Amino acid sequence: MITSKSIGNFYSAAGVTLCLHVIVSLVFIVFPTFIDSSLISKTYKRYLLPGPFFSADRVSEYQTSLLSWKVNGQWSEPIEATRNTYQDFFSSGDLTKVYQARLERALVYYGAESDEIRKKENLKILNQYYRSKYVPGNADSIQLIIIQKKSKEYSIRLDTLTKFVF
């Protein structure tokens, strides 16, 4: 039979468990390398820790593209087109910028990851898109560098995936 005393005990136990979880989570969030080698800490961090909180060292996979163009034999400073579009969204509040940034990210990702026939088609679309959006009309060439950061099992690998010159 469920009594008010048993319900009170349940709420007390749940409250203590929740407080303990919050304390342990805060320790692992503030000190992410605390007790790294323990199986319990690895399991806790993977399955019970709230987040991710999107700090640079916590993002498990990150891809960025650097775009530059050549005018009169000189390469421009590289820009991060997708990041610039997101920054435009945050400064203006224009929701179309979010979808534009997603489009840019998808074009870059599928341009680099697809098989050779699709890669040529995707890169042709990407070239046309960048020329219409970012590159001045008198540019001779476009250079796209795709950088990918992957984090697995608490180790980070940084690779330059591909460098395209159109």
- CB-CB contact of 148 with 62 (8 Å): yes
pLDDT for 144 equals 81
C-alpha distances out from residue 130 to 85, 105, 126, 145, Å: 13, 12, 6, 13
Task: Please determine, for residue 100, whether its predicted confidence score (pLDDT) is greater than 70.
Answer: yes
Overall average pLDDT of the 23-34 stretch: 78
User: Cα(65)–Cα(160) distance, rounded to whole angstroms?
Assistant: 10
Token representation of residue 11? 């709420």
- CB-CB contact of 145 with 78 (8 Å): yes
Task: Please determine, for residue 114, whether its predicted confidence score (pLDDT) is greater than 80.
Answer: no
Q: For 32-74, how does the pLDDT look when each residue is reduced to its tens digit (9 = 90+)?
A: 777 777 787 777 777 777 765 555 555 566 677 888 998 988 8
Overall average pLDDT of the 101-118 stretch: 71
Query: Which residue, among 55, 27, 84, 26, has the nearest Cα to 156 in the 3D structure?
Result: 55
C-alpha distances out from residue 70 to 19, 136, 164, Å: 58, 10, 13
